Amino acid sequence: MSPSPTPRAPQRKTRTDGFPKGMGDSPRYRMRKILDRLFQIVSALAAIVVISPLLLIFVFLLSSGGSSLTWDFLTQLPKPVGETGGGMANAVVGSCILVAVATAIGAPIGVLGGVCLCEYGGPRLRAAIRFTADVLNAVPSIIWGIVVYSWVVLRMKTFSGLAGGLALSFIMIPLILRTTEDVVRLVPPAYREAGLALGIRRSQVILHIVLATARRGVVTGVLLAAARVAGETAPLLFTAFGNRVWASRLDEPMAALPLQIFAYAISPYPDWHRQAWAGALVLLALVFLMNAVVRILSKGKTR
Amino acid sequence: MSRSLPDPEGSAPASSRETDPQKIPAAFQIEELRVAFGSRPVLHGISLEIPARQVTGIIGPSGCGKSTFLRTLNRMHEFTPGVRIQGRVRLFGEDIYDPKVDPILLRRRVGMVFQKSNPFPTMSIQENVLVGLRLAGIRNRSLLEERLEEALRMAALWNEVKDRLHAPGTELSGGQQQRLCIARALAVRPEVLLMDEPCSALDPIATAQIESLIRDLREHYSIVLVTHNLQEAGRTADFTAFFLEGKLIEFESTKKLFTNPHQKQTEDYLTGRYG
Ligand SMILES: Nc1ncnc2c1ncn2[C@@H]1O[C@H](COP(=O)(O)OP(=O)(O)OP(=O)(O)O)[C@@H](O)[C@H]1O
Ligand SMILES: [Mg+2]
């Protein structure tokens, strides 16, 4: 290209550092701008592809079950076969209890396990346990149902909410262990050293300084694990089993939303089908809610 | 041996500073100290007496083992895998590597301040200062309040933070954070303060504040100050030890070391012929 004799020619010349001197009037710059725009469009399309299933599910659930999602549905017990109306209140409460039991068992074990692994374990042990946890995370959830069935249900001679909670906690433990280990490892060593140098015992340093620094991440991990197991059906099939009345005790069969949805969905009654859709909507809303809390927590004021 | 603070009216009044390290009672007596990480020796037999209630500077090129040396004085190597420590370190006469010595109690007597200020991010200013006492099991409110003010005043921070004791410690400026870390170390009333390049991340004004603070603190504490900065050693330290490749080359009063070094290597370092 020969320099053009127009008065603006000196401006168009590229400088030695490779940047065009004018503000975006060189052909190369324009080309790059087009590429940039193209990239934005492709990214947006990809985002739409990812988000649309979620929206579709939501719309579908709303149209199929929205009409059955009444105040009665949330406050009434299921009606006997043949009668219309009734709700899944016991299943909503049951699910909350099951997740609470599972968290009460799984969170302390998972968090302490993750912290101890990170703080005390040698690199070999750490790698071994991380690998084990990853394998456990990949175990199909129905296996945990069978394990708890043979360990607990057969021995107690009854299906129970406790057994259901235990089965769910087995799923939570490796999840929580991994997230805890990850966030605890991110705590800078400088805080541990500062604590130790003050003459604080190591266990206290870990509990009051390391874990305190990582607490937001730990809580996030626990909540995500809880959200994950809230929708589990398979491990509850032969542990919590389901129930058509209010659960009064942990050693009795307990209703759970996924179980109730399953039972209603495979029933021959159109009214129950609609209720199953409504139940699915409630379950999805619960999981959404937990994820929203996670978002708020992890967005909140960090260090 | 005594656990109390050295008496301020003791044998080395600040006004007439002694220049011969042999004539001052020793805080640390270090004999033939060797440290190796795995099979790699880092300190090759250091023998040194660190005088009580003086500022002892440690200078030397990067990687010569200053930090390693400092961390043997409060047994911070305990958690480093594969570290081997030989020789003897005595604190006011007591062998700190004796199996009967609890490293936790030792570290309450030997405080430490690090290069990068590191106030605990989840704690307020007040909590940061008091955490050492709290986690040592001290609950007495009035005692804690008293120590809080004492430590912050000693660290020359009280006037700047007294109205916002409950603000997060990480909200302070870099120099204030470092003084907060000094207050945190002072709150447990140690006898010795180890400082590993406490000013190297600070601007000149904050550095000057901390240096003048260190000079004030030597009335009550024995201070070991590792520094990269020769002017800082010159301004702050009463005695200076020069380390090179894991050996102690020379230990003298700062004035003598800087004006009239005995060793060729010291002179070369001071005149800038080493990194
Ligand atoms: N935990 C460790 N494991 C293995 N080697 C180490 C460890 N800590 C220090 N070293 C080695 O010991 C030597 C001395 O390190 P040290 O940190 O004491 O040097 P320094 O004099 O403080 O240097 P600087 O002025 O850069 O801080 C270095 O060669 C370093 O690589
Ligand atoms: Mg160092």
3-state secondary structure labels for all residues of chain A: CCCCCCCCHHHHCECCCCCECCCCCCHHHHHHHHHHHHHHHHHHHHHHHHHHHHHHHHHHHHHHHHHHCCHHHHHCCECCCCCCCECCHHHHHHHHHHHHHHHHHHHHHHHHHHHHHHHHCCHHHHHHHHHHHHHHHHCCHHHHHHHHHHHHHHHHCCCCHHHHHHHHHHHHHHHHHHHHHHHHHCCCHHHHHHHHHCCCCHHHHHHHHHHHHCHHHHHHHHHHHHHHHHCCCHHHHCCCECCCCCCCCCCCCECCHHHHHHHHHCCCCHHHHHHHHHHHHHHHHHHHHHHHHHHHHHHCCCC
Task: Tell me the pLDDT band of A302, cut-offs 50, 70 and 90.
Answer: very low
Pairwise CA distance, residues B49 & A200, whole Å: 27
> Nearest C-alpha to atom 7 of ligand 1 is from which residue?
B37
Closest CA to B206 of B156, B151, B254: B156
Burial of A121 (0-12, 13-18, 19+ CB in 10 A): middle
In this predicted model, what pLDDT tens digit does every residue of B112-131 receive, in sequence order? 999 999 999 999 999 999 99
What pLDDT is recorded for position A19?
A: 58
B9 vs A292, which has greater pLDDT?
Answer: A292
Pocket of ligand 1 (CB under 6 A): B 37, 42, 60, 62-68, 80, 228
Tell me the per-residue pLDDT of A88-115, one tens digit each, with 9 for 90 and over.
999 999 999 999 999 999 999 999 999 9
Q: Kindly state whether residue A167 falls inside one of the protein's structural domains.
A: yes
Q: How far is CA A214 from CA A168, A174, A188, A303, in A?
A: 25, 18, 10, 10
pLDDT band at residue B6 using 50, 70 and 90 as cut-offs = very low
Percent of chain B, pLDDT > 70? 92
CA dihedral sign, ordered A50, A55, A56, A57: positive
Q: Is A3 a domain residue?
A: no
More confident residue, B8 or B63: B63
When divided into structural domains, chain A yields a total of 1
Percent of chain B whose predicted confidence (pLDDT) is above 90: 77
Spans of all domains in chain B: 21-270
* B108/A199 Cβ within 8 A: yes
pLDDT-derived band of residue B2, with 50, 70 and 90 as boundaries?
A: very low
Tell me the count of A-B CB pairs closer than 8 A: 68
DSSP-assigned beta bridge partners for residue B33? B46
Beta strands B55-59 and B239-244 are parallel
Interval A253-272: pLDDT, tens: 999 999 999 999 999 988 88
Which residue did the predictor score with more confidence, A21 or B34? Answer: B34
Tell me, what's the pLDDT at A254? Answer: 93
Domain span at residue A118?
89-297
Gap from B108 CA to chain A (nearest CA, Å) = 5
Å between A193 CA and nearest CA of chain B: 8
Which of these, B33, B46, B55, lies nearest to B226 by C-alpha position?
A: B55
Ramachandran class of B61: left when φ > 0, alpha when ψ lies in -120 to 50, beta otherwise: beta
Compute the nearest-CA separation of A198 from chain B (Å).
6
pLDDT of residue A21: 60
Mean pLDDT of A207-221: 92
Nearest residue of chain A to residue B113 (CA atoms)? A194
Contact predicate A69/A282, CB 8 Å: yes
Give domain status of residue A78, yes or no: no
Residue A57 pLDDT more than 80? yes
pLDDT classification of B81: cutoffs 50, 70, 90: confident
Q: How far apart are the C-alpha atoms of B67 and B226, rounded to whole Å? A: 7
Residue A58 lies in a domain: no
User: B139-194, pLDDT tens digit by residue?
Assistant: 999 999 999 999 999 899 999 999 999 999 999 999 999 999 999 999 999 999 99
Q: Which residues pair with B94 in a beta bridge?
A: B91
- Split at pLDDT 50, 70, 90, the class of A235 is very high
Q: Count of CB atoms within 10 A of residue B70's CB?
A: 19
Mean of all residue pLDDT scores within chain B: 89
Q: In b/e form, how buried is each residue of B185-198, taking b as 16+ CB within 10 angstroms? A: bbbbbbbbbbbbbb
Helices (H), chain B: 66-72, 103-109, 125-134, 141-154, 158-161, 174-187, 204-217, 230-236, 254-259, 264-270
Region B26-42: mean pLDDT is 94
Closest CA to B130 of B175, B183, B208: B183
**Cβ atoms within 10 A of the Cβ of A146, count?**
17
Residue A3 has pLDDT above 60, yes or no: no
What pLDDT is attached to residue B172? 94
Q: Under an 8 A CB cutoff, do B114 and A191 touch?
A: no
What does DSSP say about strands B192-196 and B222-226: parallel, antiparallel, or unpaired? Answer: parallel
Query: Is it the case that residue A285 has pLDDT exceeding 60?
Result: yes
Give me the CATH number covering residue A216.
1.10.3720.10
pLDDT tops 50 at residue B9? no
The protein residue with its alpha carbon nearest to ligand 1, atom 12, reads: B42
Which residues on chain B are in Cβ contact (under 8 Å) with A188? 118
Which residue of chain B has the CA closest to A194?
A: B118
> For residue A140, is it within any domain?
yes
Residue of B64, B230, B269, B274 to mutate, ligand 1, most atoms within 8 A of C-beta: B64
Cross-chain Cβ contact A191/B111 below 8 Å: no
Residue B10 vs residue A65, higher pLDDT: A65
Query: For A215, which residue in chain B has the nearest alpha carbon?
Result: B122
In this prediction, residue B4 carries a pLDDT of: 43
Nearest to B132 among A188, A190, A198 (CB): A198
Helices (H) and strands (E) in chain B, counts: 10, 10
- Kindly calculate the radius of gyration of chain A based on its CA atoms and give it in whole angstroms: 28
User: Long-range contact list for A59-68, CB < 8 A, 24+ apart?
Assistant: A61/A277, A61/A280, A61/A281, A61/A284, A62/A281, A64/A274, A64/A277, A65/A274, A65/A275, A65/A276, A65/A277, A65/A278, A65/A279, A65/A280, A65/A281, A66/A278, A66/A281, A67/A274, A68/A274, A68/A275, A68/A277, A68/A278
Q: Is the distance from CB of A59 to CB of A72 less than 8 angstroms?
A: no
Residues, CB-to-ion distance under 5 Å, ligand 2: B 67
Give pLDDT, residue B17: 58
Going by pLDDT thresholds of 50, 70 and 90, the confidence category of residue A66 is: confident
pLDDT tier for residue B80 given thresholds of 50, 70 and 90 = confident
Average pLDDT over chain A reads 88
pTM: 0.81
Tell me what pLDDT residue B271 has: 86
Instruction: Report the pLDDT value the prediction gives residue B251, as an integer from 0 to 100.
Output: 95
Does residue B84 sit in helix, strand or coil?
Answer: strand
Which CATH architecture fits B21-270?
3-Layer(aba) Sandwich (3.40)
Q: What is the pLDDT of residues A7-44, one digit of tens each?
A: 454 454 555 565 556 665 688 888 888 999 999 999 99
Is residue A203 over pLDDT 60?
yes
